[in-house]
Structure 1
Amino acid sequence: MSQSHTDRVLTGLALRLFAIACLSTMSALIKLAETRGAGLVETMFHRQLWAVPLVTAWIAAGPGLGSIRTRRFGAHLSRTAVGLTGMVFTFGSVLLLPLAEATTLQFTVPIFATILGALVLKEPTGWHRWGAVIVGFLGVLVVAQPGGGHFPLYGAVVGLLAALFVAIVAILLRQIGKTESAGTTVFWFSTLSVLPLGAVYAFQLKAHDPLTWAILVAIGLVGGVGQLALTGAVRFAPVSAVVPMDYSGLVWATLYGWLLFGVLPTPYTWMGAPIIIASGLYIVYREQRLRRSVSPVTAAETPA
């Protein structure tokens, strides 16, 4: 492996770690804003509003504003509708659950991606990955402890729905990405989201103190930076290499939960999280191994 290639991979890993730190910080800010009276739609609106100038500046400095032209406006509208629905569940899980538990449930995204890939895209999926799916959901049961009452069960359902929609968005992005750049997709999602969120938010306007307004603006700026870092990471390193960095989010969630809210993960979370993480990593490993060892022709016939 050449030095330049190694440097690019390390850059990708560093960007992914930075992105996860930003998004974890955004989640903590969302929860902090809620304790100061900000509502769900309000935080979602500011998340998208303040990301728009960041994304626009990034595009202007790179491929140029001309790159936002698109012939697939309908596809961007669909991505926005699904993305906003997913944001409702993602932000909702942060508000309903302790940060560590909400973050842990997000680790089920590879599990849902495997299920959707098999059922929707008809991707060949063998017993290795189906086994990992089953193990992953056993880990979810350990964390959620249905009937245990250590946190609201409906919060766990919202968290799992958030992960499901992230997986759905990933499939949509795979289709849109055949003709659209990442910057174009992010721009249209952010811009189109502001319109419906603003319409709803107009009926929920409320006064806040300066610190709360600063937190709301920070949600958008930090989230926007994190989104750009995610995009940059996969430019330098393969997805399979950077995905394991996502699990650093549990460290951030635990730290923020303790420092800001005086809450630490339950023993069940410490037991279940490694199971879910191992399941996700194994799914990524099997997919990468299949792509490397099997030709495109036989890959369509050989389940992993």
Structure 2
Amino acid sequence: MNRNPHLLPLLAALLGVGFLSLMDAFMKAAALAAGAYSASVMRSAFGTAMIAPVWLLRGGRWPKMPVLRIHLLRGTVSAFMALSFFYALTKLPIAEAIAISFVAPLIALYLAFVLLGEQIKRKAVIASLLGFAGTLVIIGGRLGRVESDIETLKGLAAILFSATLYAWNFIIIRQQAQVSSPEEATTFHSGVALIVLGLFAPWFFAMPSPGALFDIAMGAALTVCGAMAITWAYARAEAQVLVPIEYSGFLWASLFGWLFFSEMVTPTTLLGTVLIVGGCWIATRSDPVPPMTQPE
């Protein structure tokens, strides 16, 4: 029987990306209403309150210093990654912001080689380049209609900064997943981000309205679910196998954009989607086992 050992991790990663894409829709509404900083702080607060009791009830203990350092690093990187992304969402359409952020998996593929020593397989390179080409088609079809004013340029700068941190976050997740449970990783992911962002609260925080708080609470719940699913996946498969799945985020964004914002799918979006799905299909194929001609 031909089994794909990466199937379950791939499905978990796909589901995790879906959760996080839906979170983006809720958080854009919250960021527009309350500001990107206040929305980010409250999301981390809600997320910590949701996942910390689960971690403690499952016997969670304070991690040792080497593991704690990884938690602190990921939480700090994630805090500014999320803040810059939510700020970009207030300046750019959600689908365009997500499409531009797809440069992160391509960067992460090679960071995994440099930082983790993972061997880059040929099909992983082809898959990532194919997926990246799909995002370029989508960006070319959509950004041509956006006026290049100062606010748009701010959004582009923010999303590119966020994408760089996102690529680094891929590598940290891979390291973190090897030494901690999904509950522990997710607890510290939200908790550390809350502490880091909270340092600036005296100058920038304003309590969101009840409607914005609801959107933030939904975003926090989806963040917890997405983070746990992705952490579980990265503990069971290499980064180069899971990275192309990140491109499915645009498919999720197209769905949620249509459901929540009545965004229509353009021909360039369809073409880009075909390229992205093709890249994911190449990455998830199992390598055939060559027959042995002699006993070894």
TM-score scaled by length of structure 1: 0.73
1:124 to 1:224, Cα distance in 2 relative to 1, 3 A: closer
Alignment of 1:66-81 (within 5 A): 66=61, 68-72=62-66, 73-81=68-76
Q: 1:23 corresponds to which residue?
A: 20
Q: CA deviation at 1:188?
A: 1.9
1:164 to 1:265, Cα distance in 2 relative to 1, 3 A: farther
Q: 2:40 corresponds to which residue?
A: 44
1:242 to 1:61, Cα distance in 2 relative to 1, 3 A: farther
RMSD across aligned C-alpha pairs, in angstroms?
Answer: 3.8
Q: 1:275 corresponds to which residue?
A: 275
Say which is worse superposed, 257-266 or 242-251, in terms of deviation.
Answer: 242-251
1:130 to 1:244, Cα distance in 2 relative to 1, 3 A: closer
1:133 to 1:246, Cα distance in 2 relative to 1, 3 A: closer
Q: Deviations over 1:203-226 (max 9, x none)?
A: 233354322222223222232233
Once the two structures are aligned, what percentage of the paired residues are identical? 25
User: What is the CA–CA distance in structure 1 between the aligned matches of 2:245 and 2:136, rounded to whole Å?
Assistant: 24
Q: CA deviation at 1:100?
A: 2.6
Q: CA deviation at 1:52?
A: 0.9
Task: Tell me which amino acid in the other structure corresponds to 2:268.
Answer: Y
Q: 1:215 corresponds to which residue?
A: 215
Q: CA deviation at 1:28?
A: 0.8
2:81 aligned with 1:86: yes
1:22 to 1:228, Cα distance in 2 relative to 1, 3 A: same
Query: Would you say how many aligned residue pairs link Structure 1 and Structure 2?
Result: 282
Alignment of 1:99-178 (within 5 A): 99-121=94-116, 123-125=118-120, 128-145=123-140, 149-151=144-146, 154=153, 155=155, 158-178=158-178
Contact 1:54 1:225 in 2 (8 A): no
Q: 2:31 corresponds to which residue?
A: 34
User: What is the CA–CA distance in structure 1 between the aligned matches of 2:132 and 2:246, rounded to whole Å?
Assistant: 19
Task: Tell me which amino acid in the other structure corresponds to 1:180.
Answer: S
Task: Tell me which amino acid in the other structure corresponds to 1:268.
Answer: T
Task: Tell me which stretches of 4 or more aligned residues in structure 1 moved more than 6 Å.
Answer: 239-245
Q: CA deviation at 1:58?
A: 2.0
Q: CA deviation at 1:54?
A: 1.9
1:266 to 1:96, Cα distance in 2 relative to 1, 3 A: farther
Alignment of 1:236-275 (within 5 A): 249-275=249-275
1:16 to 1:137, Cα distance in 2 relative to 1, 3 A: closer
Contact 1:79 1:172 in 2 (8 A): yes
1:230 to 1:156, Cα distance in 2 relative to 1, 3 A: same
Instruction: Give ranges in structure 2 of 5+ residues lacking alignment.
Output: 291-296
Q: Deviations over 1:275-303 (max 9, x none)?
A: 24433543x347x639x77xxxxxxxxxx
Q: 1:299 corresponds to which residue?
A: none
